């Protein structure tokens, strides 16, 4: 039996008029196994700011993934400054908290962001490494920022090399500043913590949800004879929509 293949635009109508067939025609379909899905999906991504998310017309379900902003890494040197914590990312009733700022002149690690609201999946952010004391003859590295669900943490500074900021929209923590032993600075800066992460599946989504994307924490400035830390990565919200 010959096959008919039609390619091209799917708009409009195509009519096939078959000749009359005597008797009773039989159509045999192949056996299907597994799951067959005819759903299409669209995606909306929010990388900054706040506002109201509106569920598209005809959308039957949404899957939301979100991470809070990462904390800034600390500076090094006398009177080195601590950065700021990352901002919280929110979607409806759920919050992914921002990571804590790295501490200067202290071995205490910074806290990762936490999640509130009991979403389907909840993962706390990774802690940023605390500062370390080096020798008086060698440059020491600053500690790395915390890594979250999307990675992107900033590396610590090494000598005169600046600490790295975390990757934008990763929620990673910024790197801490390195030491400067030639000027008597032997304590590095700590890295910032990463933001918390959540994902949630809405089988019957509401018409609207409020949202806000957490900003990355600012970097700690350099103290006397020291160096600056790296800024934290901003958060993100990813919404997949199913029809």
Q: Which residues of 8-37 are buried (b: 16+ CB within 10 A; e: fewer)?
A: eeeeeeeeeeeeeeeeeeeeeeeeeeeeee
Assigned token pair, 203? 């089988």
Nearest to 120 by CA among 66, 171, 170: 66
Name the more confident of 101 and 159.
101
Query: With a threshold of 0.95, does the pTM exceed it?
Result: no
**Banded model confidence at residue 38, pLDDT cuts 50, 70, 90:** very low
Average pLDDT over residues 60-85: 95
Q: How far apart are CA 65 and CA 203, in angstroms?
A: 15
Length of the chain: 243
Among 16-30, 185-199, 215-229, name the one with the lowest average pLDDT: 16-30
Nearest to 192 by CA among 48, 77, 87: 87
Q: Mapping DSSP to helix (H, G, I), strand (E, B) and coil, where does residue 77 land? A: coil
86-111 pLDDT tens trace: 999 999 999 999 999 999 877 889 99
**Per-residue pLDDT at 192 exceeds 70:** yes
Nearest to 76 by CA among 243, 219, 199, 229: 229
Q: At 142, phi and psi to the nearest 5?
A: -75, 165
Strand order in the sheet with 208-212: 50-54, 208-212, 89-91, 94-96, 115-116
CB-side neighbour CA atoms (13 Å) of 201? 4
212-239 pLDDT tens trace: 999 999 999 999 999 999 999 999 999 9
**Per-residue pLDDT at 27 exceeds 90:** no
- Evaluate the CA torsion angle 140, 146, 151, 152 in order and state its sign: negative
Q: Centre a 10 Å sphere on the Cβ of residue 116 and count the other Cβ atoms it contains.
A: 15
């Amino acid at each position: 039996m010959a096959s008919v293949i039609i390619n091209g635009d799917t708009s409009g109508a195509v009519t096939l008029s078959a000749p009359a067939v005597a008797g009773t025609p039989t159509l045999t379909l192949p056996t299907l196994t597994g799951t067959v899905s005819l759903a299409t999906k669209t995606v909306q991504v929010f990388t900054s700011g706040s506002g109201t998310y509106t569920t598209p017309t005809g959308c039957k379900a949404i899957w939301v993934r979100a991470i809070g902003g990462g904390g800034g890494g600390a500076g090094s040197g006398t009177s080195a400054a601590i950065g700021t914590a990352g901002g919280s990312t929110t979607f409806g009733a759920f919050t992914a908290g921002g990571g804590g700022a790295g501490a200067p002149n202290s071995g205490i690690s910074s806290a990762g962001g936490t999640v509130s609201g009991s979403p389907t999946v909840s993962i706390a952010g990774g802690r940023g490494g605390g500062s370390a004391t080096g020798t008086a003859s060698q440059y020491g590295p600053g500690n790395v920022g915390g890594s979250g669900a999307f990675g992107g943490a900033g590396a610590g500074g090494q000598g005169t090399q600046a600490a790295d900021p975390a990757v934008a929209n990763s929620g990673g923590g910024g790197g801490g500043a390195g030491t400067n032993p030639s000027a008597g600075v032997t304590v590095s800066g700590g890295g910032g913590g990463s933001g918390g992460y959540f994902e949630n599946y809405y089988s019957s989504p509401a018409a609207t949800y409020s949202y806000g994307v957490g900003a990355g924490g600012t970097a700690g400035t350099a103290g006397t004879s020291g160096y600056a830390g790296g800024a934290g990565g901003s958060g993100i919200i990813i919404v997949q929509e199913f029809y």
